[in-house]
Amino acid sequence: MKKLIALVLVVFLVSWGVPLGGTEANGRQPWPMFMHDPQHTGRSFFAGPTSSQIKWTLDLGERIIASPVIGEDGTIYCLTSGVVYAIDPGGRIRWSHSLPEPLKVYDLRYWIVPLSPLLSYDGKIIFRTVSTDPTRGYGGLMALNPDGTQSWLFECAEILSCPVLWEGNIFFGARDKCYQLNLSGELISYVPASGPVVSTPAVSLEGTYYFGTVGTNGGIFYAVHHASGIKWTFPLEKSAHGDPSLGADGTIFFTDLEKLYALTPEGNEKWAINFNSICAPAIGSDGTLYLGHTNHIFYAIDPSNGGVKWRFQTGGPISSSASIDRNGNIFFGSRDKKVYALSPGGELLWSFETGGEVVGTPVIGGDGTLYVGSGDGTLYAFGTPEQTSVNIIQPRRGENWKVGEEYEIKWETINPPQGVYSVRISLLEGGKIEGIMAGGQDTGSFVWIPEFPSRGCRIQISIVAPDNSLIAQAVSGEFRILTPFSDVPLDFWALWEIMCLANGGVVNGYPDGTLKPELPVTRAEFSKMALLYLRYEQDFPPSPTFPDLDPREWYYGYVEGAVKAGLVKGYPDGTFKPQGNITIAEVLTMIVRAAGWNLVDPPATNPTIFIRDRDDSLRRISPADWFFQYVGAAVEHGILKLGPGEEEYEEIASRGGGGEYIIRFNTPATRAQTSVFLVRRFSISGLTFSIGPLF
């Protein structure tokens, strides 16, 4: 692991916030799957174009009915019936992959909408294939590597839905089943269905996936937990051709060939209205449903009761699901050959007529470009030509970064503005700016040691003008910050202190990858921790200071060095007891001695300190306790944090009635407790440090 001498965090106050766009499970990818995320909200983190200005067009020579997807580097992946294209943000083809006969992505004679590929965490492009010759197999789900070469093919009966990704699991519907695969294309499980699964599964944050089936006497709507199986089913009078979407409160919205339904997470009907559509409802940040109808009208629907908020007339049936940008503007296509942009209130912002039907969902890129495929064989890019944009190269979605390791954040600025501007690098967690890590001129990279206890993080790169206005912005895919110890999770109470010592080489893990933070610390181990932490040298006298120290043991130089530095002392009987467990009282005493603090009585009240002895008896701490004034000094200097607004962790002190604190001073101190006490000794000295080397 590389070391940094210091890491300075520059904090900026910014006037712009981070709006919610999509769910928190989608990793803030520009557009990685059908309807943007596993819940099918259709919400993007980015603002779409405010006019119908064409940035570029690309003629792919064949009708486009599939919705494109967009990777972290801005690459657009678009499907025709037999070819997969990777297209750069400037409209140039990076590579194409033609499927071998008789496989097709879709058969234009019998196409079913919507269709969309999927981008996995590791950059693979995953999509359905079908065989145009049933005697030679059905096809299946295919994955291409980021360079366009084939990675794997999962063979199965005809796939009728888009693949969806949730927590490393791929879900999709086929002729007779709904499947769950891992990212290597290996089968995890499947659910036998009552009929063909045409609807694309929607997946909740906790891993329940929802889909409907087609049947001559009606369909069935399923709720299936990814690990435990079917939770419930809901019978339908008509076939479920529509794709479900999930509201923030868990409500499931979907259409059959006659109605739009709202079901509770338990499978009970909340409401149903007559509505003929095959679109997945897009869900605004306020919960409003947006979807088109076969009657040429696009609707905004109240999620609480199914009432119509507003409607917008188009010139043809609507098969395109909608997308919603960060400002709440709605984009969709119609079979009248047009692309529409509406305001949240239903007013027309702009429209553009293509040369063919628009049945796929328009998707929004990280630079605000809107991409739409048309039946005329053209991929349209709506946006401002030559606008400034940012491409984040690293971190990539799905990467695991460890707390305390050194990493380089990399980005590139496309068409940078003239004059002076700055780059701000922020950490996003839960859709909010948790802290701005750095700022300054654009250097293209920044070295960072993760020190934020977060399960899922994203990096936001912002290009800012001198007047603090935002020029361009990009957000990385979600990556995970892990700890190097399998038994020290990110929410562990002493994580920060343990990582301080671990990255300074003061504490080490075991060969099995654990730290065992609840193990007691021996006096020899504490001597080593204190010596390394305070940067004293080991000492190897020819004769041991204490008769029970063995010069051949690993601890000898550490104990003797700690004794020489005045960090530890022996017992009145002249021994040291290196293998004996050190108690909380002894740890506090040794820290106070090493700091040279004056001894004081602990406060008589507020807080009132009680001791729980080894026999579990409870009494108030008194001057008769040898550690009485050492505890007082530890409280005074913040090593032992007690008092109003400064309550101690339950792992060290428990609360009694009336402001009393109960501490087991005579019990062995754990590795976690000792780490906390040592780091507090350093941090209160007026110095600061990041989770990296201590000096």
Q: What would the mean pLDDT of 384-399 be, rounded to a whole number? A: 76
Torsion of CA 665, 669, 673, 678, to 10 degrees: 90
CATH class of 389-482: mainly beta
| Rounded Cα–Cα distance for residues 135 and 131 (Å) | 9
Residue 468 — very low, low, confident or very high, per pLDDT cuts 50/70/90? confident
Greater confidence (687 vs 83) lies with 83
CA–chain centroid gap for 503, Å, is 24
pLDDT in tens, 202-242: 999 999 999 999 988 899 999 999 999 999 999 999 998 88
Pairing of strands 370-373, 378-382: antiparallel
Mean pLDDT of the chain: 83
**pLDDT at residue 76, rounded to an integer:** 96
Q: Is the dihedral of CA 43, 48, 54, 57 positive or negative?
A: negative
Q: Where are the domains of the chain?
A: 56-382, 389-482, 495-683
Cα dihedral 127→130→136→140 (10° resolution): 40
Q: Which residue has the tokens 């965090």?
A: 9
The pLDDT, as a whole number, for residue 386 is 66
Residue 9 has pLDDT above 70, yes or no: no
Q: Alpha-carbon distance 46 to 22, whole Å?
A: 10
What is the pLDDT confidence band of residue 339, given thresholds at 50, 70 and 90? Answer: very high
Given pLDDT bands bounded at 50, 70 and 90, which one contains residue 666? Answer: confident
pTM of the model: 0.58
CATH of domain 56-382: 2.130.10.10
What gap in Å lies between CA 38 and CA 23, rounded to an integer?
8
Coil vs helix vs strand at 693: coil
CA distance 668 to 366: 54
Burial level of 309, CB count in 10 A (0-12/13-18/19+)?
Answer: middle
pLDDT by residue (tens digit) across 327-336? 999 999 999 9
User: Cβ distance 157 to 138 under 8 Å?
Assistant: yes
Confidence of residue 17 (pLDDT cuts 50, 70, 90): very low
Which of 111-115, 376-380, 427-431 is the least confident region? Answer: 111-115
How much of the chain exceeds pLDDT 70, in percent? 85
Average pLDDT over residues 271-288: 93
Residue 201 has pLDDT above 90, yes or no: yes
When pLDDT is cut at 50, 70 and 90, the band that residue 689 belongs to is very low
- Residue 40 confidence class, pLDDT cut points 50, 70, 90: very high
At 515 the pLDDT is 87
Can you count the helices (H) and strands (E) in the chain? 6, 46
Distances from the Cα of 474 to the Cαs of 268, 411, 444, in angstroms? 40, 9, 14
Is pLDDT at 647 greater than 50 in this prediction? no
Helix (H) or strand (E) holding 679, with range, is helix 671-683
- The three-class DSSP label of residue 629 is helix
Lowest-confidence segment of 106-120, 195-209, 333-347, 548-562 by average pLDDT: 106-120
Torsion angles phi and psi, residue 584, rounded to 5: -60, -40
**Range 393-396, long-range pairs (CB < 8 A, 24+ positions):** 393/73, 394/476, 395/459, 395/476, 395/477, 395/479, 396/72, 396/121, 396/123, 396/476, 396/477, 396/479
Instruction: For the chain, give the percent of residues with pLDDT over 90.
Output: 45
* Six-digit token string for 100: 């071998």
Torsion angles phi and psi, residue 179, rounded to 5 = -105, 155
Nearest to 131 by CA among 101, 151, 110, 108: 101
CA distances to 324, 582, 649 from 654, rounded to whole Å, are 50, 20, 8
Q: Is residue 434 predicted with pLDDT exceeding 60?
A: no
Looking at residue 8, its pLDDT comes to 25
Residue 430's pLDDT is what? 55
Query: Could you report the per-residue pLDDT of 349-366, keeping only the tens digit for each?
Result: 999 999 999 999 999 998
Q: What is the pLDDT of residue 417?
A: 75
Cα separation, 173 vs 244, whole angstroms: 13
pLDDT tens per residue across span 669-683 = 898 888 888 888 765
What's the confidence (pLDDT) of residue 135?
A: 67
pLDDT at 690 (0 to 100): 29
Helix axes 523-533, 671-683, angle to 10 degrees: 30
Is pLDDT at 416 greater than 60 in this prediction?
Answer: yes
What angle separates helix 523-533 from helix 584-595, to the nearest 10 degrees? 30
Cα-atom radius of gyration of the chain, to the nearest Å? 31
Phi/psi of residue 672, each to 5°?
-65, -45
Task: Give pLDDT, residue 213.
Answer: 94
Using 50, 70 and 90 to split pLDDT, how confident is the model at 441? low
DSSP 451: -
In a 13 Å sphere around the CA of 315, the CA atoms on its Cβ side amount to 10
pLDDT at residue 19 greater than cutoff 60? no
pLDDT score, position 442: 55
pLDDT in tens, 251-277: 999 999 889 999 999 999 999 999 988
Beta partners for residue 390, in sequence order: 413
Lowest mean pLDDT among 15-19, 47-51, 364-368, 477-481: 15-19
| Phi, psi dihedral angles at 7 (to 5 degrees) | -130, 115
- Give the number of other CB atoms < 10 A from CB of residue 494: 22
What one-character DSSP code corresponds to residue 136? Answer: G
Of the ranges 117-121, 146-150, 530-534, which one carries the lowest mean pLDDT score? 530-534
Strands 432-440 and 400-402: unpaired
Buried b (16+ CB within 10 A) or exposed e, 105-121: bbeeeebbbbbbbbbbb
How does DSSP classify residue 498?
Answer: H
* pLDDT reading at 510 higher than 60: yes
Euclidean distance between CA atoms 26 and 430, whole angstroms: 11
Q: What is the structure's pLDDT at 23?
A: 32
- In which order are the strands placed within the sheet that holds 422-429? 432-440, 422-429, 458-464, 470-475
pLDDT at 133: 76
At residue 383's C-alpha, the angle toward residues 381 and 385, to 5°, is 100
Higher-confidence position of 157 and 186? 186
Question: Between these two residues, 519 and 399, which has the higher pLDDT value?
Answer: 519
| Single-letter amino acid code for the residue at 544 | P
